Chain A
Amino acid sequence: MEVTGMDRIRKALAEIVGEEYVSDGKEELYIYSRDPGLMEPHEPDYVVMPKTTEEVQKIVQLANKEKIPIVPVGGSLSLSGLVIPHRGGIALDLKRMDRVLEVNEKSRYVVVEGGITCGKLKAYLDRHHPNLRYSIPDAPPSATVVGNIVIHGQGRLSQQYGFNSDMVTGLEVVLPTGEVCKIGSCSVSPYWFSLAPLPDLAGLFLGWFGTTGIITKLGLRLYPKKKLRDIEVFVVEDPNLVPDVIHRVTHTEMAEDMFVSAQPYPFMFKDVIMIGICLTGDSEEELEFKRRMVWDALRPHIDSKEGGFMMLTPDIKRELLEMPTRSTTRFADVMKGGGFEYCGPIIPVEKFPEAYKKLLELSSKYGITYGMTGRVIARGNCMMFAFGYPFNRADPDNIERTKKALHDSNLASLDIGGVPWKPEAPAQKMIMERMDKNTLELMKRIKKLLDPNGIMNPGNWEAR
């Protein structure tokens, strides 16, 4: 029997990772061809699951030699098609590389492998280091920690400490040309405590969606885990008040997390905007002190009768305090049919009212339901504002209307001065069209320098 080129590459991959961890079977190719969002599926030619950095290195070297596209895959949960292999090639699934390599209790950081899931890291810390936590995103537990980092994700501690990518202390990266490179203190020391005081090279890999290298190890800050948590939800009708509510609460520096949400169903949520304020403490006294500070900060809005704290049942509190919250996932399938995508621009906080009004306008224009979720970042430096659209995959008309709404949401985000977060390829194009020309040129040069053969996750951040 003739050995084809594809057979040859499959065999080469099997020699690197073992026969059982490479596949070109239809089932696997189908699974790795799509995510729950609106981007068109496209199958890879191979799926491979390495176990070590050395195996990743060898796969990258092979891909370079053969000029085959390579797409690093985590949980495949970006919803915006960031790991759909637009040009086929190798889907490199990192999930076998899921070990916790080190927890430094005193310096509060963890070193993990590039495929560990958020659920596994949380469970590990809960069990072995109950006084430490990391900024867990409100994604399903199968989302990977590194995946969330490379998209500049946010989590439950982002209100205090910024984007999850701001919490990186070190990286090990396999460059597109196959070299293994360490970034941060770990490049000169056995400790992974910080990116500073060295030149910050982490920016060559964060936010690039795997187009400049594959992160195989990650150092990440850990934070104190308080014994008690509670939540208050402040409610307003007027979106113009939301920036001031955020400003007042962040000024107290008492909140662990702040999120904003609005949705038309169930009825109790209709026509109001809810601002969730999570509080933590090691004692009831600490918690009560923080609660009072927050209440006092918002007293002017209460006295004007324009805002108030919602009456929460223990069930609602429990749900809101869950990490990650299940309600996001439930909402994602509210239309049934398994489709969900959102445009989640990062916007200045004062632009919330414009974004909110646009969301209502688009939902009405395209006759689709919506859910808005926002998360305050870094004491109100900015916020993520999600135009969330669940849709039914079995309904082509619903899909088409949702695509239009998503397109318009991306445009609106840019128009109000925001930047779409983890944008799908068409939105990346919109961003680059508006980007400063020299910045775009710098991106091109960096990409060309690091990935001369253009094999890394092609179709993303393609500056032309």
Chain B
Amino acid sequence: MRNLELEFDERLCATCSTYDCLVKCQYMKMDKDTAKAEMQKLIKGEDSFVLHECVTCYACEEYCKKGNHLFYLITDLQEKRGILPAPKPILKQWVNIGIPGRKDIQQFWDAKEPVISLCLFPEYVNSIQGKLFENVSIILGRYFFCQLVYLHFGKPSLIRERLPEIIENIARHGFKEVVFFHDECYSTFVSYAPAYGIKVPFRPVHFFEYLYNKLKEHEDEIKPLNIKVAYQRNCSSRLAPEKEHFVDKIFSLIGAERVARKYDRENALCCGGIIRGLQRYELFVDVQKRNVEDMFNAGAEYCVFNCPGCFSSLSEAVAKKGIKPIMMHDLCKLALGEKPTGWK
């Protein structure tokens, strides 16, 4: 395996006047001086409480406006220093889940563009239907799994070990563009891979960009939903914040009002799933409670999800508050008069 090094420019940090990457962290409270001191330790590869307390929400990647990659640096240092964010058997399970498939599934050889990669979410196959998905092909499974999840578990070397093979598996199909249902995959190819000098021979397309363009094609068929929604950002959206404007554009097209609330946009809170997975139960309870109450107090009727993982960990909690959980593409289908899969 080629030795893939993070392209981290410490000179950008030296000239930073805010240290927002750490000061803005929602889970570690620190002032600018502390942030600067800890940042210097990290740059030198030394131990820092940041390495132990990071909840792996990815947000520092977005807080840094200079395009440096603090989060990737943190995860590399965690691994280098043997700091395990999660217990070993939890890591083991994830390592096993993502073992790249040894062979392509035959049916995917017939896939033709436009093609949507469903990552490791076969349970969503039946939801990819209706006007928004006419003539699309689906690929999914471990043969195409992006592997970025190991950022949460202090094992980023595994991403770099497996990613070139995954990229080759996708490229072998000859696709010019691939739409990624899960923006963790999208972010892998537009953020993580370039940060380590890994070439991507196809154009990744963000799922929301795809949805927006398809909605525009069917604009005259849209019946405004006239609902109030809260949007649950996911961790990997922090790696591609340039695509966040599609959320508002989609909401505007389908008549969904994004309620004003404390924990939205840059201040969004983690769904809690990973925090629980890191066994930080008290923090998990606190974060979910604040998040859901914020949605409720802002008058949200729906909680709209980008990520199936967030949907898994948060949907029950929002539903208990009387807020309907729904995936973004299912919400779009509602606006076109189509029922989401599984709705009676």
Contact = CB atoms under 8 A, between A and B. Distances in A.
Interface centre among B93, B277, B312 (most CB of A within 10 A): B93
Nearest to B84: A305
B316 interface: yes
Contact of B92 (A271, A295, A301, A302): A271
Interface in B302-344: 312-313, 315-316, 320
Interface string A250-286: 0000000000000000011111100000000000100
A11 interface: no
Contacts of A237: 88-89, 92
A305 B88 contact: yes
B86 to A, nearest CB: 6
Interface centre among B90, B316, B320 (most CB of A within 10 A): B90
A21 interface: no
Given A267-B99, A270-B96, A311 B89 contact: no
Contact of B87 (A267, A292, A302): A302
A284 B321 CA distance: 13
B313 to A, nearest CB: 8
Interface residues of B, number: 23
Contacts of B315: 314
B90 A308 contact: yes
B123 interface: yes
A236 interface: yes
A235 interface: yes
B202 interface: no
State the majority secondary structure of interface residues on A. Answer: mixed
A334 to B, nearest CB: 18
Contacts of B92: 237, 271-272
Contact of B97 (A267, A305, A309): A267
A446 interface: no
A272 B87 CA distance: 12
A311 B277 contact: yes
A446 B315 CA distance: 60
Contact of A268 (B93, B273, B312): B93
B281 interface: yes
Contact of A292 (B277, B279, B281): B281
Given A292-B281, A305-B84, A235 B276 contact: no
A294 to B, nearest CB: 10
Nearest to A270: B96
Nearest to B313: A311
A306 interface: yes
A273 B93 CA distance: 10
Contacts of B316: 314
B96 A307 contact: no
Interface centre among B87, B273, B312, B320 (most CB of A within 10 A): B87
Nearest to B93: A268
Contacts of B88: 237, 305-306
A309 B279 contact: yes
A268 B97 contact: yes
A310 B90 contact: yes
A322 interface: no
Contact of B93 (A284, A292, A310): A310
Contacts of A189: none
Contacts of B97: 267-268
Contacts of B90: 235, 308, 310-311
B312 A235 contact: no
B104 to A, nearest CB: 18
Contacts of A292: 281
A395 interface: no
Given A267-B97, A270-B96, A313-B312, A308 B281 contact: no
A306 B89 contact: yes
Contacts of A269: 93, 96
A236 B96 contact: no
A336 to B, nearest CB: 20
A309 B96 contact: no
Interface string A303-323: 001111111011100000000
A272 B88 CA distance: 10
Contact of A307 (B89, B273, B313): B89
A314 B318 CA distance: 14
A246 to B, nearest CB: 16
Nearest to A315: B123
Contacts of B281: 292, 295
Nearest to B315: A314
A428 to B, nearest CB: 38
Given A295-B281, A306-B89, A313-B312, 6 more contacts: A236-B89, A272-B89, A301-B87, A305-B84, A308-B86, A311-B277
27 contacts: A237-B88, A237-B92, A267-B99, A268-B93, A268-B96, A268-B97, A269-B96, A270-B96, A271-B92, A271-B96, A272-B92, A272-B93, A284-B320, A295-B281, A305-B86, A306-B87, A306-B89, A307-B87, A307-B89, A308-B86, A308-B90, A308-B279, A309-B279, A310-B90, A311-B277, A313-B312, A314-B316
